[in-house]
Structure 1
Amino acid sequence: MPSGLVALLDDVSVIARAAAASLDDVGVGVAKAGTKAAGVVIDDAAVTPGYVTGFTPDRELPIIWKIAKGSFRNKLLILLPIALLLSAFLPQAITPILMIGGLYLAFEGAEKVIEKIGGEKHGETLEDPVEDIATFEKTRVSGAIRTDLILSAEIMAIALAEVAEGTLFARAVTLALVGIAITVAVYGAVALIVKMDDVGLHLAKKPGAGAQATGRMLLKAMPVVLKLLGSVGTLAMLWVGGGIILHGLEELGLPQPAHVAHDIQHALEAATGPLGPVAGWLAYAVASALVGLVLGGLVAMVVHLFAKARGKAH
């Protein structure tokens, strides 16, 4: 066999082994990143149904599909290139950018809390007469995609941290796979949640006492579940936003607020025995949510004062 061909085959085998090693790294990175991002995924799944609630059944799945497409764009066309560029050239900027996103989430959550306790509503809601349903739907979808962008940024940052030492190829493929898998999981779950009442209606009409009982149970339960998810979604915005800010402050050399939250977490873990892990997680989530509520409330106050000042000026 000519020596040139032998050398070429040897180079090909080296490249193949390197690619296989990179794919192994990708698989490990995807698994680790998916586990670490589970909390944010749950928050995302809790937040999204609130943007669909109240629309007619025929519009629910199309709206979810629009939001899902926006989520794919967020992760693959916006966040993936930005994450790779920042990790390569400006890694120190990732934390401040995430903190800005966390503050936006906290602002959205705080504004919803203010509205729930009787504050002024900002923007059209389903509780008010909707003059143009198409425009309102577009506004809802845009709001959901904006919120998804912040949650997706946190997911991609977690994934990036897990493969920060890998090659550019491994980082890119891992982030892409994590983004695709999580988007499918989140919006598939959301679609199942919001269509569960239709499943209940279908079962209630079928022959058989068991099917009908299950259908009636689903029909009664789903309004409560959706309302509960709306509240969980608001809390999720606060605790994820507050948690991002606490972690960011720690990364930037101001660890005291995060240490206080962790001290509360560890104290409850030690005091509650077998329930320690759950109690500790809940304590840290509540502490993060309070941070998000305070900071988000301050931002909401400034935003609304500025909006009123502009209105008076005009």
Structure 2
Amino acid sequence: WSRAVAKGVLLKINGREIRRSYSFSSSPGVDHYPIITVKRKPNGTASSFLVEGVRSGEVLTALPPAGQFVLPAFRQRPHYLFMMAGGSGITPVFSIIKYALACTPNFQVILLYANRDEQGLIFRKDLDKWLQLYPERFKAVLLLSSPKGQLSEIAETSHAEVLPMRLGNALLEELIQKNIPKDDSTVDFFLCGPPGLLLKSEMAIRFLGYPDEQIHKEVFTITPPIRPPAEQFPDGTVALARNGDEAAFPLKAGQTILEAAEQAGIELPYSCRSGICTSCMARCQKGEVIMYLPEGPLSSKATDGVVQTCVGYPLTKRVTINFK
């Protein structure tokens, strides 16, 4: 699980099968077991069940790890990680920071963590501990839009810089220029949080001239996927190759590959159904598939054939999909 960001969980709640993806808050080389962190959402079926209904010792069904929100390859020279998180989006960022500080001495880490107030700060004690253990390699800036306590007290107890404001482009540009050297190749940006925070942050980073390959993002709010008009797609057939076996099933215009497989009684891996978690990732070997991802449409021709079947619509009458 060292190369994955999320663990899918299969739950049985009131006779219904529910799948959810939760980010790892543990790190390889630091924690003995994988750990997920769950924040209860109002009226959230899965989060309420896990927080209130599950007891110590119970066994949960886990799905294979997934995700690409991971550290870059080991660096021989000092390398900067500029981490930006909003609310519970701190979870995968927390895991990466933990590993970077404990296991990779060449990483310098700057965390920008936005919240409404200090009570919403997740992992506050751990972040405080790391700031004291690694004062030369770890810096944290807490953005609190509506702090409840005195800023000086919050800063003293958290050992972090505290700013009573929302994230803005000017502030972000200032913090990047203040903490990152001018050599653009020595930094990777990791963004995780609500879509608005990601959009604002990515725009500011691009404005400063950083290339796409140095910007890594994870949407932490699952929204209903875009449903394109069915008439722009053909009826067709999906040929499925998996574990040495082959099968074929029909697909109606406007169906995703996952939906067509389910209708045919074929089980494929999935979790979020929104093109976020990558649990359903496969490769299109023949034909063309267009994915309607949160950030916009993307053709399999632009991804070397890599597709997410939960948001993947065949553009050709026949496609061949391979699951490793």
Q: Shorter-chain TM-score: which interval? A: under 0.3
- Higher fraction of strand: 2
**Structure of greater relative contact order (alpha carbons < 8 Å, 6+ residues apart):** 1
Q: Which has the higher helix share?
A: 1
Higher gyration radius (CA): 1
